[in-house]
Amino acid sequence: MSVPAMSTTVGSFHLSRSHGTPSRSFPRVRMAVRSGAVSVAPILTNLQKDCATSLPVLSHVADAMAADMRAGLAADGGSNLKMILSYVDSLPSGNEKGLFYALDLGGTNFRVLRVQLGGKEERVIATEFEQVSISQELMFGTSEQLFDFIASGLAKFAQKEGGKFHLPSGRMREIGFTFSFPVKQLSIDSGMLIKWTKGFAVSGTAGKDVVACLNEAMERLGLEMRVSALVNDTVGTLAGARYWDDDVMVAVILGTGTNACYVERNDAIPKQTGHASASGRTIVNTEWGAFSNGLPLTVYDREMDAASINPGEQIFEKTISGMYLGEIVRRVLLKMTEEGDLFGKSVPVKLSNPFILRTPDLCAMQQDSSADLQTVGSILYSVVGLESNFSARRIVVDVCDTIVKRGGRLAGAGIVGILQKMEEDSRGLIFGKRTVVAMDGGLYENYPQYRRYLQDAVTELLGTEISKNVVIEHSKDGSGIGAALLAASNSKYEHEF
Ligand code: ADP
Ligand code: MG
């Protein structure tokens, strides 16, 4: 979209009177005109310049992603990217049978799911799930409080089992536990939390085995279930998508946070010692949220990072994922209100409230196709307390678009980086045939502009021919079923099918 001319304040004065709320906007606009306050156009122009993702910038990001992956595979601590070995070396075959549970803790919500698997013929016979939101209190509470809450949610859900779900007698219910925070995996069913991300600050979990934390909480409740696979959500998504499609090689999550994993050859993992899988392949969890090389960042990103609970960390995540896009836009709008004449003279109290403007709000504003940007106006007013005229609304939409475009395009460049790395090690096996990237997460799912920008970047980087072979596929809630499938393939009753 174009940058509105410097004179729009005066022009929009008339627009706001005819479309909006004259009694409120009239004195504010008049004040702005009289005071000769500064136009916000330069703020927008600078933002667009700092966020620009030209092809050379994207190429650099893709190359740096590939290089960081190699460094992380060479040695622990060798790179920003942890390149965590998942201990998942066999992907679902379709033969899995029986009743399995999955539990997903990953951000704003925690989900429980059960699935009855019927093998090659019947596949997924039935699934049921429930979702519970994680309160702010729990995110800042103790480890026991959080895991007790999860175990009790799981217990309530398990009590409602019936219908098509059936557990052979004498067996314990088995769980695939999707835990989407950085974990040092110790085996398929244990792993130590490295650190909380995505705004979680639970005390007493870092350095502990999260499976043990859950087991202890289940014991406290007298709930007889066991975790047979601990999986990252990206790994669950890859497994879930692979169950239906053999060409799936990469999985990416774009939700509250972001991460990616892919199928790696064992001979390309120098740091792997001992554990050699029969398949010759292992899923590697990149933890790419920590990537930071060559990203186009702005003063708003730096200030948001400095104010965050993990300054200097998760920079890629802070630039492209759902938790942060709204907050970056809020910071830009705050600057425009403080220094420009866009929204009148005073700064609404709400606008100073970190994280009050959320990514779904940006998304709703960008879908507004009304002539006077009615929805944009009402969201600005109800969420951040800003009264806006038409030109202000247009500028806000441009700000959203700038931040979302940068996010989507950088996510696309990251994906190309992973594919490039895989292709370098296995000429033709990635770009020379159909390769599927399974995508999941609320941001990718719900934000059409973001999705389009991501796909555009992939196509620009790979060129039209090669990009025809790269299929980016939405695998909705695949991680839940995927985790249950991994619980099945790692079941302690595995040999009793
Ligand atoms: P999580 O990452 O917490 O496991 P999800 O994958 O469901 O959860 O993603 C939730 C995130 O997706 C939200 O934090 C938000 O940033 C983003 N999101 C949800 N709904 C929308 C929407 N309508 N438009 C844009 N982003 C959305
Ligand atoms: Mg999730």
Query: b vs e for 131-151, b when ≥16 Cβ sit within 10 Å of the residue's Cβ?
Result: ebebeeebbebebbbbbbbbb
- Choosing from 131, 252, 256, 404 the residue with most ligand 1 atoms within 8 A of its CB, the one to mutate for a pocket test is 256
Kindly identify the ligand whose nearest atom is closest to the C-alpha of 324: 1
Of 333, 383, 388, nearest to 360 by C-alpha is 383
Q: Which of 253, 283, 254 is nearest to 266 (CA)?
A: 283
71 Cα: distance to centroid of ligand 1 (angstroms)? 31
Alpha-carbon distance 412 to 218, whole Å? 40
pLDDT digits (tens, 9 = 90+) for 76-134: 999 999 999 999 988 888 899 999 999 999 877 899 999 999 999 999 999 999 999 99
Ligand 2 center–CA 282 separation, angstroms: 22
CA atoms lying within 13 Å on the CB side of residue 351: 20
Which atom of ligand 1 sits closest to the CA of residue 106? 4
Whose Cα sits closest to atom 16 in ligand 1? 322
The binding-site residues of ligand 1, defined as CB within 6 angstroms of any ligand atom, are 106-109, 255-257, 322-323, 359-360, 363, 441-443, 446-447
Question: Using CA positions, which residue lies closest to atom 7 of ligand 1?
Answer: 442
What is the position in ligand 1's atom list of the atom closest to the CA of 180?
Answer: 4
Name residues with Cβ closer than 5 Å to ligand 2, which is an ion. 106, 233, 255
Q: What's the angle, vertex CA 145, arms to CA 144 and CA 147, rounded to 5?
A: 65
Burial class (CB within 10 angstroms; exposed 0-12, middle 13-18, buried 19+) of 244: middle
Distance 317 CA to ligand 2 centre (A): 14
For ligand 2, the distance from its centroid to the CA atom of residue 180, given in whole angstroms, is 7
434: alpha, beta or left? (left if phi > 0; alpha if psi -120 to 50): beta
Atom of ligand 1 nearest to the CA of 440: 6
Position in ligand 1 atom list of the atom nearest CA 358: 16
Q: Which residues contact 282 (CB under 8 A, 6 or more apart)?
A: 85, 86, 87, 88, 89, 263, 264, 266, 269, 272
Q: Which of 112, 318, 446 to mutate to test ligand 1, by most ligand atoms within 8 A of the CB atom?
A: 446
User: Considering only CA atoms, which residue is closest to atom 14 of ligand 1?
Assistant: 256
Cβ contact 223:204 at 8 Å: no
pLDDT tens for the chain, 497 residues long, are 333 333 323 333 233 333 333 333 333 333 333 244 578 999 999 999 999 999 999 999 999 999 999 999 999 999 999 999 999 988 888 899 999 999 999 877 899 999 999 999 999 999 999 999 999 999 999 999 999 999 999 999 999 999 999 998 889 999 999 998 999 999 999 999 999 988 899 999 999 999 999 999 999 999 999 999 999 999 999 999 999 999 999 999 999 999 999 999 999 999 998 766 778 899 999 999 999 999 999 999 999 999 998 999 999 999 999 999 999 999 999 999 999 877 877 899 999 999 999 999 999 999 999 999 999 999 999 999 999 999 999 999 999 999 999 999 999 999 999 999 999 999 889 999 999 999 999 999 999 999 999 999 999 999 999 999 999 999 987 888 999 999 998 988 865 54
Which CATH number is 52-85+245-477's, of 3.40.1410.10, 3.40.367.20, 3.40.50.1980, 1.20.1090.10?
3.40.367.20
Which strand (E) or helix (H) includes residue 384?
A: helix 374-384
Ligand nearest to the CA of 178: 2
Q: Which CATH architecture has domain 87-231?
A: 2-Layer Sandwich (3.30)
Number of alpha carbons in the 13 Å side-chain half-sphere of residue 394: 17
Name the residue ranges covered by the structural domains of the chain: 52-85+245-477, 87-231
Gyration radius of the chain over CA positions: 24
Q: Would you tell me how many other CB atoms lie within 10 Å of the CB of residue 85?
A: 22
The number of residues making up the chain comes to 497
Q: Whose CA is nearest to atom 19 of ligand 1?
A: 442
CA 172 to centroid of ligand 1, rounded, Å: 33
pTM passes above 0.85: yes
Indicate the angle between helix axes 448-469 and 55-74, nearest 10 degrees. Answer: 70
> Which residues are marked as active site?
198, 233
Q: Nearest-CA neighbor of 87 among 277, 251, 247, 278?
A: 277
Q: How far is CA 492 from the centre of its chain?
A: 32
- Nearest ligand for residue 408 CA: 1
* Residue 357 one-letter amino acid: L
Residue 405: how many other CB atoms lie within 10 Å = 21
Minimal-distance CA residue to ligand 1 atom 15: 322
Distance 256 CA to ligand 2 centre (A): 7
